[in-house]
A = this chain, B = another copy of it.
Amino acid sequence: MTPPESDVDVLIIGAGPAGLMLATWLSRLNIRTRIVDKRSTKIMAGQADGFQCRTLEILDSFGIDRVWKESNHMLEVCFWNPDENGVIKRTGRVPDTPQGFSRFTECVLHQGRMERFFLDHLKDDGDTVRVERAILPSSLQINEEKVEDAAAYPITIRLQHLTDEEATPDQGKNIPNGLFRSNLTPDDTEDLIRKASGKEGTEEVVRAKYLVGCDGAHSWTRKQLGFQMEGEHTEIIWGVLDIIPITDFPDIRVRSLIHSASSGSLMVIPREKRVVRLYIQLKEVSEGGGAIDRSKVTPEQILKAAQKIIAPYKLEYEHCGWFTAYQIAQRVSDGFDKFERVFLAGDAVHTHSPKAGQGQNVSLQDSYNLGWKIGLVARGQATREILKTYPTERQQIARDLIAFDQKFSKLFSGRPAKDVSDETGISLEEFRKVFHQGAVFAAGLSVDYGPNILVVKEDEGKIGGVRCKPSLAEKLKIGMRLPSHKVVNQSDSLPVELQKLLPSDGRFRLIVFPGNISKPKLYTRYEKLGEYFSSSTGLVSAYTPEDTPRDSVIEILTVHSAKRLDVELQSLPEAFHPLDKARGWDYWKIYADDESYHEGHGRVYENFGIDRDEGCIVIVRPDGYVATVVAVDNTNSLEAYFARFMIKV
């Protein structure tokens, strides 16, 4: 029997955080997308739980605020180390997220909730992309001759439909656990393919324009592409317990890093709903080795190890929601894509220790980087060139992540120094220093994409090139995410976070900082810019189909630095607050860098280092990263930037 055939623009393998984020992007951009997963249910307990500032900003850009609302906000870190008698003592206390990083702070919530929010969001967003469960890919072919033809479907993939029984993993009969997907146990993908293949009616063939493997550390997709994970793994085994602790340890509701004198170390992660997650170094299990079957670690063993570390404090529990065990493996894939047609994201391309709370975040951010690029190409708005920026941008991040994790884990697994003369031990000072240095990275805010077709960091200095002027916004970093500060809506005085004006909807944005437009000279310059944007030969007309709103491809926002009360909205050029007969004037495009009635002054000119008499235009990518900075009157540079990769209508 011939299996049924169909085609789709994008096929996503794997419905974990990376896959769901990608599906969310593509749904938002109305791209024909399918997402399949070999498991019959979503994660019910355990797995990742840490959310960085940047991840929260990204979720917010999709209007997903439930993580921030439901999670436990983890605000403080305490360091515990042995004193001269080998008894653990609190030796330091710092904020978990340093002040001023973001409008969010690090928070913690069970991964299954995040997946639920994505699923709910997909449903609300038209319900066109649904996760298809109990489906497994079994073969992949790429027609190399067609990969450069944007309209082609060069990928052919066979999908096996599993029975519920086949697709339901044993999550643990008594207490749910993560051993079945831990790196201590072998992967079951090949097994599942073998079991399912050959049965009638269980197979289909899909032709796709793009294929994205978000299929985890054991990625089937990665194996088909022939890429290798490069890096190392350590022999130390860590146990993880999600419990409601009964303890007299005083810092159980803050992130506590406990180094015992000789029983190893433990990290406390306070969670939502009274739960606390403990990461526990398993001394007995790792030393010697053979005695215990590593894939059969029990919560009792893990608790026993924790009790030794946390002594003299007591630690018990009546409720355990989940547990697992793992070995730290720090590896990066040697390839992230093939022909810019098949891509890998998330654990499929990087694995590392979970303790820094990075895994889910970097995975989400991989596909956040990729989604809009595939979307714009699939819609015919951008050339395939921009797809090359995915591997270059994200492979570097993965390498940075591994470097960070190696430092972080080593410190953590290491033995604390006995005194200053103890050179092989890790001193408290060293620990705190590395921990603090890691904070920006850990918050996801150090991501700095290098110069490429989408990011212009220097004046190209040539005719027809982008005259990038970083000095016009000297505190703003091109290549990094646009930080948020409050600005005040001109029409109604509402203070709004700048990032709130950058929803993830696939549009590039020009943020015009025209300076103090109550000065005639600056007003005139701004007026002239408005004329350019209104013209039928300008940038907006070049890329915007006639039958769609003027702001549907490139949106123009204004943040002026005049006093709001000195400016009358109706006297400003219509290009900056366009009139649409059915919807009235657009009152949500012009903002003042001014004091608000109830929420202070955002001081965005000052924070970005923009001169109020000079101004600038900042181009922001659809993912919120700063693409470049040009002068207010330099419309040629705007055209030069978009000419690099955009396709005219």
Contact = CB atoms under 8 A, between A and B. Distances in A.
A584 B244 contact: yes
Contact of A493 (B75, B246, B493, B569): B75
Given A105-B598, A597-B95, A246 B581 contact: yes
Interface stretch (A6-14, A22-30, A247-255, A257-265): A247-255
A331 to B, nearest CB: 34
B99 A598 contact: yes
A489 B247 CA distance: 18
Contacts of A565: 93
A175 B34 CA distance: 41
A245 interface: yes
9 contacts: A75-B493, A75-B494, A76-B492, A93-B565, A95-B598, A99-B597, A246-B584, A253-B587, A270-B492
B319 A493 contact: no
Contacts of A581: 246, 318
A303 to B, nearest CB: 15
Given A76-B493, A95-B598, A250-B569, 12 more contacts: A75-B493, A75-B597, A75-B598, A76-B492, A76-B597, A99-B597, A105-B598, A246-B581, A247-B585, A250-B570, A254-B493, A319-B582
A596 B73 CA distance: 13
Interface string A570-594: 1000000001011111010000000
Interface of A: 72-76, 93, 95, 97, 99, 105, 244-248, 250, 252-254, 270, 274, 318-319, 489, 491-494, 565, 568-570, 579, 581-585, 587, 596-598
Contact of A492 (B75, B493, B569, B597): B75
A602 to B, nearest CB: 15
A248 B584 CA distance: 10
Given A250-B569, A598-B99, A583 B73 contact: no
Contacts of A582: 244, 318-319
Contact of A494 (B73, B252, B319, B598): B73
Contacts of A74: 492
A248 B76 contact: no
Nearest to A103: B598
Nearest to A73: B494
A196 to B, nearest CB: 39
User: Looking at A246, A319, A598, which has the most chain B CB atoms within 10 Å of its CB?
Assistant: A598
A489 B253 CA distance: 10
Contact of A583 (B95, B274, B492, B597): B274
B584 A491 contact: no
Nearest to A489: B253
B492 A585 contact: no
Nearest to A105: B598
A244 B581 CA distance: 10
Nearest to A581: B318
A587 B244 CA distance: 12
Contacts of A570: 248, 250
Contacts of A252: 491, 587
